[in-house]
Amino acid sequence: MTDIHEPRQTPPTPDIPPAAHPHDVDDGGHAVRLMILAAVVGILGVLGGWPTLVVVLGVVVMIFLHELGHYMAAKWGGMKVTEFFIGFGPKIWSFRRGDTEYGLKAIPAGAYVKIIGMNNLDEIDPADEDLAYRNKSYPKRLLVAVAGSAMHFTQALVLLFVLFAFVGIPGGSLTELEAWNVDEISPDSAADDFGLELGDEILTVDGRSVGNYDDFREMIAELPDADVIMEIDREGEVIDLPVTIGVR
């Protein structure tokens, strides 16, 4: 006798949406953190003006380039970089490209690059062992370690090139310090009290010839609180200007 059973029907599996990646979840605080950061930047601008903002931005860019050096060296060395963030603390904004999450955090006091396997205690996926920092050759690990500092030297060289090529230095020469003219006078300063004017060229101080700004600075440093005659070339006319050297 043969038993005949009806085939079991597998109940339909309900559609369950995939779990959201923790980096894709917005906890509602990103906008608030962004507004706080913008307020801090605004306060710095009000209290310190544009120079303060430029300095802060320059530091942020410098730190970013430092970490970019580590990041590029790690990528070149075949290592897995999981995070590249500017700032610390709560996350404000981020996006993912490949294995790496890039973003901005609330406290702009630094930046960091996260490479898997930076030490032997890091727990990583066995499939990623070949991509870990600890399993790469010594030259590649050394390159990652020094890449940030190398980026600082590169920044210094670029800035020096821009300074000398496009901005210049007093006197207009790298090898010779030449004659110079007064191009700015601060209100209520000693130069303002003396009656110096824009474009004046200082020829002598107390009878001693002034060849360049460094000569002038050294001369007045030797004559604190002294009454001297300053010889000025003002639009081709030589003027004797009695002045009293101040003391700082």
Look at residues 25, 157, 136 and name the one whose alpha carbon lies nearest to residue 81. Answer: 136
35-68: b or e for each residue (b if 16 or more CB lie within 10 Å)?
eebeeeeeeeeeeeeeeeeeebeeebeebbebbb
Q: How many residues does the chain have?
A: 248
Q: Which position among 6, 67, 83, 129 bears the catalytic label?
A: 67
Contact 62, 155 (CB under 8 A): yes
As a three-state string, the secondary structure of 155-214 is HHHHHHHHHHHHHCCCCCCCCCCCCCCCCCCCCCCHHHHHCCCCCCEEEEECCEECCCHH
Q: Residue 138 CB: number of other CB atoms within 10 A?
A: 7
67 classed as catalytic = yes
Using alpha carbons only, what angle is made at residue 37 by residues 36 and 41, rounded to the nearest 5 degrees?
115
Distances in Å between the alpha carbon of 236 and those of 150, 201, 203, 232, 245? 51, 10, 12, 9, 25
Active site (catalytic) residues: 67
